[in-house]
């Protein structure tokens, strides 16, 4: 739990992040209904679309990351949250597989897609967005292609029940000081020679 | 009924015809020499002989492969009662001089003479390729004069089918297609199989890169293959035979078809072969370019006109093969060994080779070597002898790095294994395989991960798509190798690559998939550091070490996921 | 499944469970009969054995290689272990690679929730894909008035090919291309809607394990397959028996 930088109130520090996704996973998170009250008793929500924090804070216990990595901004946030989080959860199908966000990969590089969306299809003044919005990466990729992930929560969106189960298990492990239930390791035993 | 050939007569008159010439000039007309310009050379020889008016004394014979393909076009002058001389890199001008100077005035053209005492030739032992480079493959008389079809005649006259199988069994002959299955065992299974008709197939679908052993045998000595097939059919009770040749070998197809036609006219094929009550129909079938059709079940599907994909075994072909009938598939080189074994006896054959691997093996020697070409060596010869004695070592003072045998199914052997004997068991133990006989030598300019990637790309392209691990696994393994070779691979990419090797090897349906990981596994075994050197360090975020203390070590995966049994 | 007559006479052990098998039964037959589940994808009761998915490989005692349970007949005293740590990982990798090979975007798939590939992912602990997604540019054939084929969701199990050939007798489908370019084609690669031999029977749609073959007009998650109908038909045809069966969910 928080050691120094946190609020020091003994509560877990939980964050959420919204990368290239539709925010449906966050909506499902809000569907937790009264469990949100229990959760608030056990943890502080320190970052995410539901708070007004600008920079990713240090010393976070659990971060739920929604969305695929699709632009420069996503990438920076992904690195930052990995840097500062104990348990990163790939939250929902876009983060886990790329899902709908990655459908643009079928068109290859981003340019043809941008051309189609912003130039060919608008009725008036089609032009490519260039300023203010972060540049797209060549491919929209699942989160684990970029940073190591500790747990996966598939679903489009994952049901509130599934979110509750996951958070409860992870939080309990952290509170008890147990090893976090990790995503299954699946290399063969004799392949552990990399150490 | 077709007329019956009198082998004795034919051989006799052929030898008599030969003796009328004072000099026989043999011009290699195999594919390698033809592509180096052997066609015009032969024309020049003919024209010069006519101009010099030595036509009646000199016979120009187009022959098959003389072996040292890297020095082609090759020409061999054989004066009656004198030592023969081989010429290398012959041009039409030199060909003219050979006739004018060597043949007419007995003056050698020293600068083009190829020393036939050098190890390349002297270390070889020719059984299968005994006639290659010596006879005109398009003339059955030439083959008969060298003792051809005598083994068949002997078997038909004096041996029961079981006795033929016994001879093959005693000889220890094993399949030359790569796996090394005892040939007599296969023959015996077909002999005992219930059902009629039974089929015999000669597998000439040679697809490994750089390999052209079977092509050379079929092109240079088609009658040897046919004779081997007739004996095999007699021993096993097969009444129909197919020679399955890949479409990329038009010359082999043409010569085989011609040889079959001639043999049929001479009463060596068809009904009542050589006056016996044994019948055999033979046909050439042409493949459509799929590597996997070298696999038995896919090959049979292709012959039947279906999509060339492997099917499950059992049932094995000898139980239920072509059109549901008992079928036996032998490699072309295996069958080409048969006439010599039947003619000379099992003991003679067993004198060559090792205890487990008898006889000789033909290799197509390629890569960074002074001499490349087609060689036939006794089993058990060391890799060092092949590379440095026969192959003449690495050119330009290069350093030997690895030898790749067995094509995309084989593996790479490093310099430390140069002294291992080349036979079925030794190679398999070292993580490679005999394969059909491609042998590619690499010098130290090669990066081994690139080599593995090359072979994996081949397997990816040639996977038939039927089974999931091969179809998808070769794609993923190639992608991982690609990333590593391009210098953007991470440690986990290598881990995934290794674990995929294991999955694809253990779960694929046929030999193509099961052996596709071999080049990766063997290069990893012997050249692991080359892979490790190419990896990029694990990502550190924002260029700094992670600030959060690491979580407790993950428990042993073997324990946490044991059984996956739920 | 072979419904042997007489009494089962071959003693076998599957996952420690002793059972008597009928002559000619495969490992998978016996396991299914005694309630041991072996993962599989291309196998379907009532159709010929294809052996392409390789998921039903099992360990047989004293056999150095894994055996395909859908194609290996049992022999007396055979001891089978249907899963071990290595087999589990093999299956998991194969399922992952099947996902990586196509464009399996469950969120927009008609068969979401009624999909054998999804079920297999759950069964083999696939929670994400370790491999590069291939994002193939596969085509959709919507030319048939009643059905649609989305090749991006096809796992090449060839159930449609076999059911059309073996049960319906029309042989509309076959596999075209090779390796990773393999795809299901109608009538030597014609649009399905132009197929003169398609009888509109829909059996291919019923047996499809994923959302590759679907009834037109189904929205996301609305498609329901019914592969068990094939065994029902096969039994009726071969043995003249029409057994009670439950309609698909």
A140, A147, A188: which is closest to A21 by C-alpha?
A140
Query: Which of B469, B471, B503 shows the shortest C-beta gap to C180?
Result: B471
DSSP reduced 3-state for B143:
helix
CA pair distance A50, A46, nearest whole angstrom:
9
Q: Are residues C145 and C231 in the same domain?
A: yes
Q: How far is CA B448 from CA B160, B210, B426, B452, in A?
A: 52, 18, 22, 6
CA pair distance B306, B300, nearest whole angstrom:
9
Q: Are residues C116 and C199 in the same domain?
A: yes
- How near does any CA of chain A get to the CA of C172, in Å? 29
pLDDT band at B546 (very low <50, low <70, confident <90, very high): very low
Q: Are residues C113 and C27 in the same domain?
A: no
Q: Which of C52, C83, C114 is the last residue of a domain?
A: C83
The residue of A65, A92, A106, A141 whose CB has the most chain C CBs within 10 angstroms, and thus the best one to mutate to test that interface, is: A106
Q: Are residues C72 and C142 in the same domain?
A: no
Q: Report, in this order, helix, strand and coil percent for chain B, each rounded to 5.
A: 50, 15, 35
Residue A41 structure tokens:
């008793």
Q: Report, in this order, helix, strand and coil percent for chain A, each rounded to 5.
A: 40, 20, 40
Flag whether C144 is in a domain: yes
Find the mean pLDDT for residues B372-393: 94
A195 lies within 8 A of chain B by CB = no
Structural domain boundaries enclosing C20: 10-83
Domain with residue C227: its CATH number is 3.30.70.20
Residue C122 structure tokens:
């759950």
Q: From chain C, pick out residues whose CB is under 8 angstroms from the CB of B468.
A: 41, 52-55, 94, 97-98, 155-156
B203, B214, B232: which is closest to B302 by C-alpha?
B203
Cα first-last separation, chain C? 23
| A/C interface, count of CB pairs below 8 Å | 47
- Indicate the CATH number for domain B22-116: 3.40.30.10
For residue B338, say if its preceding peptide bond is cis, omega within 30 degrees of 0.
Answer: no
Tell me the HSE value of B342 on the side-chain side, using a 13 A CA sphere. Answer: 35
Strand partners, B375: B363
Query: Which of B542, B546, B551 shows the shortest C-beta gap to A180?
Result: B551
Instruction: Identify the segments of chain A with pLDDT beneath 50.
Output: 1-7, 184-195
- How near does any CA of chain A get to the CA of B544, in Å? 9
Flag whether A127 is in a domain: no
Relative to beta strand A43-47, strand A12-18 is parallel
CB B161 within 8 A of CB B191: yes
B67, B106, B103: which is closest to B88 by C-alpha?
B67
Q: From chain B, pick out residues whose CB is under 8 angstroms from the CB of C101.
A: 471-472, 475
- Give the relative orientation of helices B183-192 and B222-236 as an angle to the nearest 10 degrees: 50
The residue of A81, A83, A89 whose CB has the most chain B CBs within 10 angstroms, and thus the best one to mutate to test that interface, is: A83
- How near does any CA of chain C get to the CA of A141, in Å? 9
B506 lies within 8 A of chain A by CB = no
pLDDT band at B541 (very low <50, low <70, confident <90, very high): low
pLDDT band at B21 (very low <50, low <70, confident <90, very high): very high
Flag whether A190 is in a domain: no
Find the mean pLDDT for residues B461-475: 96
Q: Which fold has domain B360-440?
A: Ubiquitin-like (UB roll) (3.10.20)
CB B69 within 8 A of CB B372: yes
Give the chain B residue nearest A183 (alpha carbons).
Answer: B554
Flag whether C158 is in a domain: yes
Total number of domains in chain A: 1
Flag whether A173 is in a domain: yes
Reading phi first (left if > 0) and then psi (alpha if -120 to 50, else beta), residue B288 is in: alpha
C62 lies within 8 A of chain A by CB = no
Domain with residue A28: its CATH number is 3.40.50.700
pLDDT at B265 over 50: yes
Inter-chain CB proximity C128 and A156 less than 8 Å: no
CB C240 within 8 A of CB C10: no
Which own/partner contact pairs does C232-236 have at CB distance under 8 Å and 24+ positions apart? Answer: C232/C46, C233/C46, C233/C167, C234/C45, C234/C46, C234/C47, C234/C167, C235/C3, C235/C46
Inter-chain CB proximity B509 and C90 less than 8 Å: no
CB B361 within 8 A of CB B124: no
Residue B105 structure tokens:
């005035």
Percent of chain B clearing pLDDT 90 (strictly above): 81
CB B376 within 8 A of CB B362: yes
A160: number of Cβ within 10 Å? 17
Is the alpha carbon torsion for B152, B155, B157, B161 positive or negative? negative
Residue A4: the pLDDT is 39
Instruction: Give domain B449-534's CATH number out of 1.20.1440.230, 1.10.10.10, 2.40.50.180, 3.10.290.20.
Output: 1.20.1440.230
CA pair distance C75, C64, nearest whole angstrom:
16
* Per-residue pLDDT reduced to its tens digit, A140-195: 999 998 888 888 999 999 999 999 999 998 998 888 887 765 554 444 443 433 32
Q: What is the DSSP letter of B494?
A: H
Least confident segment among A4-13, B236-245, B339-348:
A4-13
CB C43 within 8 A of CB C27: no
Inter-chain CB proximity A182 and B554 less than 8 Å: yes
B218: number of Cβ within 10 Å? 30
B376, B373, B375, B363: which is closest to B32 by C-alpha?
B373
How open is the CA angle B304-B310-B316, to the nearest 5 degrees?
85
Inter-chain CB proximity B469 and C94 less than 8 Å: yes
Relative to beta strand B411-414, strand B400-405 is antiparallel
Give the chain B residue nearest C131 (alpha carbons).
Answer: B476
Residue C248: the pLDDT is 56
pLDDT band at B537 (very low <50, low <70, confident <90, very high): confident
CB B34 within 8 A of CB B223: no
Burial string for B496-532 (b: 16+ CB within 10 Å, else e) reads bbbbbbbbbbbbbbbbbbbbbbbbbbbbbebbeebbe
Relative to beta strand B85-87, strand B113-114 is antiparallel
Residue A195: the pLDDT is 27
Tell me the HSE value of C157 on the side-chain side, using a 13 A CA sphere. Answer: 31
CA pair distance B311, B301, nearest whole angstrom:
9
Reading phi first (left if > 0) and then psi (alpha if -120 to 50, else beta), residue C187 is in: left
Flag whether A119 is in a domain: no
CA pair distance B21, B35, nearest whole angstrom:
29
Q: How far is CA B487 from CA B457, B532, B534, B537, C228, in A?
A: 18, 10, 5, 11, 50
- How near does any CA of chain B get to the CA of C157, in Å? 8
Q: What is the DSSP letter of B415?
A: G
Residue B551: the pLDDT is 34
Percent of chain B clearing pLDDT 70 (strictly above): 94
Place of tokens 């490679």: B432
Relative to beta strand C173-176, strand C183-186 is antiparallel
Find the mean pLDDT for residues B492-504: 93
B212, B218, B226: which is closest to B253 by C-alpha?
B218
Strand partners, A151: A89
Place of tokens 């459908």: A103
Domain with residue C57: its CATH number is 3.10.20.740
CA pair distance B200, B329, nearest whole angstrom:
6
Give the chain C residue nearest B465 (alpha carbons).
Answer: C179
B79, B62, B65: which is closest to B33 by C-alpha?
B65
Instruction: Identify the segments of chain C with pLDDT beneath 70.
Output: 1-5, 247-249
Residue B375: the pLDDT is 94
Q: Are residues C111 and C14 in the same domain?
A: no
Residue B330: the pLDDT is 96
Q: Are residues C109 and C27 in the same domain?
A: no
A55 lies within 8 A of chain B by CB = no
CB A8 within 8 A of CB A2: yes
- Indicate the CATH number for domain B140-350: 3.40.50.11540
CA pair distance B438, B374, nearest whole angstrom:
10
Domain ranges in chain B?
22-116, 140-350, 360-440, 449-534
Q: Are residues C156 and C207 in the same domain?
A: yes
CA pair distance C5, B560, nearest whole angstrom:
44
pLDDT at B11 over 60: yes
The alpha carbon of B554 is separated from its chain's Cα centroid by a whole number of angstroms, namely 50
Total number of domains in chain C: 2
Residue A2: the pLDDT is 42
Residue A188: the pLDDT is 43
| Stretch (H or E) spanning C20 | strand C17-21
Residue C29 structure tokens:
């037959």
Flag whether C180 is in a domain: yes
A144 lies within 8 A of chain C by CB = yes
* Per-residue pLDDT reduced to its tens digit, B39-82: 999 999 999 999 988 888 899 999 999 989 899 899 999 998 88
CB B467 within 8 A of CB C51: yes
pLDDT at B395 over 90: yes
Q: Are residues C54 and C172 in the same domain?
A: no
Residue B58 structure tokens:
């000199």
CA pair distance B418, B435, nearest whole angstrom:
18
For residue C69, say if its preceding peptide bond is cis, omega within 30 degrees of 0.
Answer: no
B361, B354, B322, B409: which is closest to B214 by C-alpha?
B361
Flag whether C192 is in a domain: yes
CA pair distance B254, B248, nearest whole angstrom:
12
Residue C246: the pLDDT is 73
């Amino acid at each position: 739990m928080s050691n120094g930088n946190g609020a020091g109130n003994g509560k877990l520090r939980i964050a959420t992040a919204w990368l290239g996704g539709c925010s449906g996973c966050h909506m499902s998170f809000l569907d937790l209904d009264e469990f949100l009250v229990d959760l608030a008793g056990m943890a502080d929500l320190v970052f995410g679309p539901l708070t007004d924090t600008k920079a990713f804070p240090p010393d976070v216990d659990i971060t739920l990351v929604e969305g695929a990595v699709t632009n420069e901004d996503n990438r920076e946030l992904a690195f930052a949250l990995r840097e500062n989080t104990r348990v990163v959860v790939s939250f929902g199908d876009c983060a886990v597989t790329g899902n709908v966000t990655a459908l643009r990969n079928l068109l290859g590089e981003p340019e043809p897609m941008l051309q189609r969306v912003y130039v060919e299809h608008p009725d008036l003044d089609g032009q490519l967005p260039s300023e203010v919005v972060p540049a797209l990466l060549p491919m929209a990729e699942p989160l684990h292609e970029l940073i190591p992930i500790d747990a996966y929560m598939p679903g489009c969106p994952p049901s509130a029940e599934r979110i509750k189960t996951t958070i409860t298990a992870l939080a309990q492990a952290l509170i008890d000081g147990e090893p976090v239930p990790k995503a299954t390791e699946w290399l063969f035993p004799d392949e552990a020679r990399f150490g | 009924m077709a007329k019956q050939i009198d082998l004795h007569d034919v051989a006799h008159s052929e030898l008599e015809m030969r003796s009328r010439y004072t000099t026989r000039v043999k011009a290699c007309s195999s594919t390698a020499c033809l592509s180096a310009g052997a066609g015009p050379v032969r024309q020049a020889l003919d024209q010069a002989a006519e101009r010099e008016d030595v036509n009646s004394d000199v016979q120009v014979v187009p022959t098959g492969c003389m072996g040292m393909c890297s020095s082609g076009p090759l020409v061999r002058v054989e004066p009656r009662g004198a030592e023969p001389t081989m010429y290398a890199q012959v041009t039409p001008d030199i060909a003219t001089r050979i006739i004018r100077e060597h043949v007419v005035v007995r003056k050698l053209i020293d600068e083009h003479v190829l020393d036939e005492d050098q190890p390349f030739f002297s270390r070889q032992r020719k059984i299968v390729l005994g006639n290659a480079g010596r006879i005109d493959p398009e003339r059955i008389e030439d083959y008969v004069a060298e003792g051809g079809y005598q083994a068949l005649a002997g078997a038909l006259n004096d041996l029961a089918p079981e006795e033929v199988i016994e001879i093959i069994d005693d000889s220890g002959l094993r399949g030359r297609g790569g796996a090394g299955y005892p040939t007599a065992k296969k023959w015996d299974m077909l002999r005992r199989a219930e059902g009629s008709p039974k089929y015999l197939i000669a597998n000439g679908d040679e697809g490994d890169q750089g390999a052209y052993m079977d092509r050379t045998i079929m092109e240079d000595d088609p009658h040897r293959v046919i004779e081997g097939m007739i004996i095999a059919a007699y021993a096993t009770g097969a009444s129909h035979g197919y020679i399955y040749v890949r479409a990329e070998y038009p010359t082999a197809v043409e010569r085989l078809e011609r040889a079959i036609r001639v043999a049929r006219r001479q009463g060596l094929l068809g009904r009542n072969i050589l006056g016996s009550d044994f019948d055999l129909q033979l046909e050439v079938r042409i493949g459509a370019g799929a590597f996997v059709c070298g696999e038995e079940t896919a090959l049979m599907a292709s012959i039947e006109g279906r999509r060339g994909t492997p099917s499950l075994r059992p049932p094995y072909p000898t139980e239920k093969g072509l059109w549901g009938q008992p079928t036996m598939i032998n490699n072309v080189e295996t069958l080409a060994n048969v006439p010599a074994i039947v003619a000379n006896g099992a003991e003679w054959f067993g004198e060559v080779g090792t205890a487990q691997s008898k006889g000789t093996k033909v290799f197509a020697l390629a890569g960074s070597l002074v001499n490349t070409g087609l060689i036939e060596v006794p089993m058990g010869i060391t890799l060092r002898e092949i590379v440095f004695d026969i192959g003449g070592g690495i050119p330009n003072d290069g350093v030997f790095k690895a030898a790749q045998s067995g094509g995309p199914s084989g593996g790479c052997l490093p310099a430390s294994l140069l002294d291992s004997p080349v036979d079925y068991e030794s190679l398999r133990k070292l993580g490679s395989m005999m394969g059909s006989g491609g042998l590619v030598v690499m010098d130290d300019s090669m990066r081994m991960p690139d080599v593995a990637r090359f072979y994996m790309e081949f397997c990816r392209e040639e996977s038939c798509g039927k089974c999931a691990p091969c179809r998808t696994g070769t794609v993923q393994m190639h992608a991982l190798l690609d990333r590593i070779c391009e210098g953007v691979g991470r440690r986990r990419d290598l881990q995934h690559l290794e674990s995929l090797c294991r999955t694809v090897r253990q779960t694929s349906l046929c030999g193509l998939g099961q052996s596709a990981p071999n080049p990766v596994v063997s290069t990893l075994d012997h050249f692991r550091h080359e892979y490790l050197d190419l990896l990029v360090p694990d990502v550190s975020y924002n260029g700094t070490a992670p600030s959060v203390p690491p979580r407790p070590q993950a428990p042993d995966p073997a324990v946490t996921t044991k059984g996956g049994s739920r | 499944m072979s419904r042997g007559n007489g009494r089962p006479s071959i003693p076998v052990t599957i996952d420690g469970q002793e059972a008597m098998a009928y002559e000619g039964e495969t490992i998978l037959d016996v396991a299914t009969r005694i309630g041991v589940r072996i993962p599989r994808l291309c196998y379907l009761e009532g159709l010929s054995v294809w052996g392409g998915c390789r998921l039903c490989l099992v360990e047989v005692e004293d056999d150095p290689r894994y055996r395909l349970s859908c194609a290996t007949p049992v022999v007396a005293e055979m001891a089978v272990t249907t899963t071990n740590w290595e087999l589990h990982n093999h299956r998991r990798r194969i399922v992952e690679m099947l996902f990586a090979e196509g464009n399996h975007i469950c969120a927009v798939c008609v068969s979401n929730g009624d999909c054998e590939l999804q079920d297999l992912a759950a069964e083999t602990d696939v929670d994400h894909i370790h491999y590069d997604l291939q994002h193939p540019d596969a085509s959709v054939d919507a030319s048939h008035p009643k059905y649609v084929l989305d090749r991006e969701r096809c796992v090449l199990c060839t159930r449609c090919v076999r059911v059309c050939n073996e049960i319906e007798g029309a042989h509309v489908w076959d596999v075209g291309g090779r390796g990773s370019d393999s795809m299901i084609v109608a009538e030597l690669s014609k649009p399905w809607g132009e197929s003169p031999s398609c009888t509109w029977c829909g059996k291919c749609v019923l047996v499809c394990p994923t959302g590759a073959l679907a009834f037109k007009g189904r929205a996301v998650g609305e498609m329901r397959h019914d592969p068990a109908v094939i065994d029902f038909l096969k039994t009726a045809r071969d043995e003249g028996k029409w057994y009670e069966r439950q309609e698909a969910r």
